[in-house]
A and B are shown apart, each in its own frame.
Chain A
Amino acid sequence: DGGITQSPKYLFRKEGQNVTLSCEQNLNHDAMYWYRQDPGQGLRLIYYSQIVNDFQKGDIAEGYSVSREKKESFPLTVTSAQKNPTAFYLCASSPGVGQPQHFGDGTRLSIL
């Protein structure tokens, strides 16, 4: 079955540490997205990519970085510059920007 796989499901970060969240899709979608979800705030867009080797900042990109070297993969790095990283992170993909998005099951990141 086609879908989006996020790993790990739970992740813990120490102070000053960078961590990378994995997102892989086998839907052959061109566009991929990373969202952060906090209680009562809905989804906030971190980064998105419309095509391989290209990505754009979303609304809350500070303290995060991404790469898009392959169509199937869009990893997110939460850097030590992100002072409040505790949240639920969702990856999504769509055939193109503006089209319905398919979501992974998320990664919950916590601070040790």
Chain B
Amino acid sequence: AQSVTQLGSHVSVSEGALVLLRCNYSSSVPPYLFWYVQYPNQGLQLLLKYTSAATLVKGINGFEAEFKKSETSFHLTKPSAHMSDAAEYFCAVSRGGNEKLTFGTGTRLTIIP
């Protein structure tokens, strides 16, 4: 079965600084990978997805993620943090086909003014 590990349940960065949220996966076959964002008392919104095309994936709100097979990683980055980026972020993996998504436990991002 596939799984994801999100390193760091809480991450704080200063406004304007680089955002780096870590996600490592385990999968026996090439995975489909996703990042979602959740604002307080709301559902999850898809930020970006990797489905075996380009390894660098650009998403909404200036976020991007790079699929690195050798490191089994799919870290999420944004060059310059904005106050509106404060939220919880979830990484998810699937093997495609009829395989369900498996979610990580989430990383809460705090932006320091």
Contacts and interface: CB of A to CB of B under 8 A. Distances in A.
Chain A interface category by residue count: 20 to 34
Contacts, number: 56
Given A40-B105, A108-B41, 19 more contacts: A6-B43, A42-B103, A42-B106, A43-B44, A43-B103, A48-B100, A58-B100, A90-B44, A92-B44, A98-B32, A98-B95, A98-B97, A98-B101, A100-B46, A101-B46, A101-B101, A105-B41, A105-B43, A106-B42
A61 B105 CA distance: 19
Secondary structure type dominating chain B contacts: loop
Interface of B: 9, 32, 34, 36, 41-46, 49, 90, 94-101, 103-106
A112 B46 CA distance: 34
A97 interface: yes
B34 A98 contact: no
